[in-house]
Amino acid sequence: MTDTQYDRAPGDASALPDMERGTSSGVLVYTIGLALALLLTALSFWVANTSLLWAPGISLGLTVLAIAQMGIHLVFFLHITTGPDNTNNVMALAFGVLIVILVVVGSLLIMADLNDNMMPTAEIMNLHMQR
Amino acid sequence: MNIAVAVDDEVRYEARLSASEAGPAAKRIVVGYGFWVFLLSDIVMFAAIFAAYAVLAHATAGGPSGMQLFNQRSVAIETGCLLASSYTCGMMSLAISSRRYAVTYLAALITFVLGAAFLALELREFAGMIAIGAGPQRSAFLSAFFTLVGCHGLHVTAGLVWMAVMMAQLAIKGLSATVERRLLCFSLFWHALDIVWVWLFTVVYLMGVVS
């Protein structure tokens, strides 16, 4: 009989009885999170300053690193888990991410499109390209 | 021995009813969920400000651009401060759940000092920019920059005030269930601010230096 355990985060007391509430494992989780976050941060700064990489790809690379670091923070610091206590949090997070993507990508697309279609005489209105 | 194991198994079985059979969730979980929804709404607000910044990032109106203004070394130090303070905030949460008061106060103090150091560095950067005439009124880019980074700075300030209040509550009321839940919300807030900062240094500082 396999003993399936709920996926619980350290310091995350719940309705469940206290089974294993080891502080040392909690410290380990935070330390792993800090190490990974520092690694990704250092990588971001390196990517932004190196001349080894293909320049047009750097923005994309930085975005990927930021998404990865956001995941590290969510899992190791905010303790978003797959446990039943966390289902609602995960659903709310998914909805929040949807709204954030809609707002940011939508704004950028609309403003870029607006600039493309702007009358040439209306340079003064062209905020995006104004230098 | 066997009986003890059997009882233990029974307790575990009872504890693992499915969500629909388990009854109402513990208050701690409900409070955490409510605060999580607030945090997400806060992040949606940040998304709108990020979108405004991304649209206006090149609208320097002949003024200084990000490449001339941003000092990567100070940004790296600020990032280190916030990451370390997130870590010590996690240590504080662990100390609270195992009822170690001295460690709680110590971790809170270190978290506060690191947050204050971050804020001091950011204010010094703002003051330096305003001193060379690159204030928020100079260009649309700088208006968006001060709005975005300043909004995060205000959140950090609010977090520092909140932490001071929570330490006073901890000293006066002790570690009651209410105080413990408030401290849980505070640590969620502090970690969420770190996520906003990750996007901030990526989008504003690093991409600003690249392009």
pLDDT in single tens digits along all 211 residues of chain B: 444 444 554 555 555 566 667 778 888 889 999 999 999 999 999 999 999 999 998 888 888 888 888 988 999 999 999 999 999 999 999 999 888 999 999 999 999 999 999 999 999 999 999 999 898 999 999 999 999 999 999 999 999 999 999 999 999 998 899 999 999 999 999 999 999 999 999 999 998 887 6
Interface of A with B in 82-111 (CB under 8 A): 84-85, 87-89, 92-93, 95-96, 99-100, 103-104, 106-108, 111
Asked if A130 is an interface residue toward chain B (Cβ–Cβ < 8 A), one would say yes
Q: How far apart are CA B29 and CA B138, in angstroms?
A: 47
Torsion, CA A69, CA A71, CA A76, CA A77, rounded to 10: 80
**Measured between beta carbons, which residues in chain A are less than 8 angstroms from residue B50?**
104
Tokens 């006066």 locate to B172
Q: How far apart are CA B7 and CA A121, in angstroms?
A: 82
Q: Which of B131, B129, B132, B83 is nearest to B110 (CA)?
A: B83
**pLDDT, tens digit, 9 for 90 and up, residues B1-29:** 444 444 554 555 555 566 667 778 888 88
CA-to-CA separations, B132 to B120, B121, B126, B172, in angstroms, rounded? 19, 17, 10, 47
Q: How high is the pLDDT of residue A23?
A: 65
- A34·B86 Cβ contact <8 A: yes
Q: How high is the pLDDT of residue B116?
A: 97
Q: How far apart are CA B96 and CA B77, in angstroms?
A: 28
Q: Which of B164, B165, B125, B163 is nearest to B145 (CA)?
A: B125
Asked if A115 is an interface residue toward chain B (Cβ–Cβ < 8 A), one would say no
Predicted complex: ipTM over 0.90: no
Any alpha helices (H) in chain B, and if so which ranges? 2-15, 27-56, 66-69, 72-97, 101-131, 140-173, 177-200, 207-210
* Burial tier of A72 (Cβ tally within 10 Å: 0-12, 13-18, 19+): buried
CB A11 within 8 A of CB B94: yes
Structural tokens at position A19: 């089974």
What does CATH list as the number for B27-210? 1.20.120.80
- A21·B19 Cβ contact <8 A: no
CB A63 within 8 A of CB B202: yes
Any alpha helices (H) in A19-127, and if so which ranges? 23-49, 58-72, 87-116
Q: Sign of dihedral through CA atoms A101, A37, B32, B179?
A: negative
Q: How high is the pLDDT of residue A19?
A: 41
Q: In terms of pTM, does the model score above 0.95?
A: no
- A130·B94 Cβ contact <8 A: no
Q: How far apart are CA A104 and CA B52, in angstroms?
A: 8
Max CA separation in chain A (angstroms): 76
Q: How far apart are CA B129 and CA B123, in angstroms?
A: 10
pLDDT values of chain A reduced to their tens digit, one per residue, 131 residues? 444 455 555 545 444 444 445 567 889 999 999 999 999 999 999 999 888 888 888 999 999 999 999 999 999 999 888 887 888 899 999 999 999 999 999 999 999 888 888 766 555 555 555 54
DSSP category for residue A126: -
Q: How far apart are CA A6 and CA A13, in angstroms?
A: 12
Q: Please give the residue of chain A at the shortest CA–CA distance from B35.
A: A89
Phi and psi torsions of B18, nearest 5°: -70, 165
